[in-house]
Amino acid sequence: MALQAVGKLSARDFKADLKPVWCPGCGDFGVVASVYQALAKLNLDPDNTVFVSGIGCSSRLPGYINTYGFNSIHGRALPVATGVKLANPALTVIVTGGDGDGFAIGTSHFVHTARRNVDLTYLMMDNGIYGLTKGQVSPTSPHDLVTKTSAYGNIEAPINPVLMALSCGATFIARAFSGDPKNSQEIIAAAIQHPGFSFVQIMSPCVTYRGREQFDAVRERIRPLPEGHDPTVRADARRVAFEDTEEVITLGTIWVAERPTLEDGHERARRKASERGPFSYEDLVHSFIPDDGSVAAGG
């Protein structure tokens, strides 16, 4: 149940009564803690905030947050969230999910939500494995990773989510690590404040199917943005996006741009339509059959 926004809320106020059922040590605990902090920092009104997810360990997150929530179906969180946002643009809509949910069955939704620049925040918790279904290879699993479905090592190359977000038109792109809550909460807060599609790849190790070593491997590779990095300069963003995360994992805000959101486009179209006045049946017929009686050529 959502809280009434009365005065300043603390991180604790955003904590739902439902206790997380993640495995002890799962990186997602760090992410949800950072989310509580970010929501409190922004003093978001829980009655006007909605978390939407798909299916997977990290997609349980809406249940643990004291706002409205929608645990939808596998890979479909982004279109559901788009519908929520278009129905009520005043809402703050945040999407959570994992690499399997977002970059396998959900890939095409990611592409189109980014290019449409829907004003959503997408927190993608990346552990490079399917955790909920017990350890199969995922689209971000590293090459050669041995899993239940890649007994001789993953023979496929992983997707690079940051590079994909950049090429699809996301207007805010960042990377965070569940083991670095201070940095993560700042990035999450900035992503929520950004007007447009914000994508945050959060490295969130799965201790059960990738072992404690995954935490160590991420820690060894993380580093801050290069000195002088300007997130509004495409060449700077591209340099970070092309890095191989098997070697370095750069944390921080990688790319920020401004362009009209899908909601802006809808508003513009609505305004033009009202200026033009109602479309009559005759207008419609004439759009297919010009005055000379010829039929418009089909494509």
Considering the complex, state which of residue 24 and residue 278 has its C-beta at the smaller distance from ligand SF4.
Answer: 24
Considering the complex, state which of residue 142 and residue 195 has its C-beta at the smaller distance from ligand SF4.
Answer: 142
Considering the complex, state which of residue 34 and residue 261 has its C-beta at the smaller distance from ligand SF4.
Answer: 34
Considering the complex, state which of residue 59 and residue 67 has its C-beta at the smaller distance from ligand SF4.
Answer: 59
Considering the complex, state which of residue 99 and residue 243 has its C-beta at the smaller distance from ligand SF4.
Answer: 99
Nearest approach, Cβ of residue 130 and ligand SF4 (Å): 9
Nearest approach, Cβ of residue 97 and ligand SF4 (Å): 12
DSSP 298: P
The Cβ-side half-sphere exposure at 172, using a 13 Å CA radius, reads 22
Q: 160 is written with which tokens?
A: 């690079």
Burial of 108 (0-12, 13-18, 19+ CB in 10 A): exposed
Site residues for ligand SF4 per CB under 6 A: 22-23, 26, 28, 57, 127, 131-132, 206-209
Q: Which helix (H) or strand (E) holds 255?
A: strand 249-256
Nearest approach, Cβ of residue 193 and ligand SF4 (Å): 28
The count of residues in the chain is: 299
- Per DSSP, helices labelled H in 138-180 are 161-168
Nearest approach, Cβ of residue 56 and ligand SF4 (Å): 8
The DSSP result for 206-230, as a single string, is -TTTT-THHHHHHHHHEEEPPTT--
Q: How far apart are CA 76 and CA 56, in angstroms?
A: 12
Nearest approach, Cβ of residue 2 and ligand SF4 (Å): 26
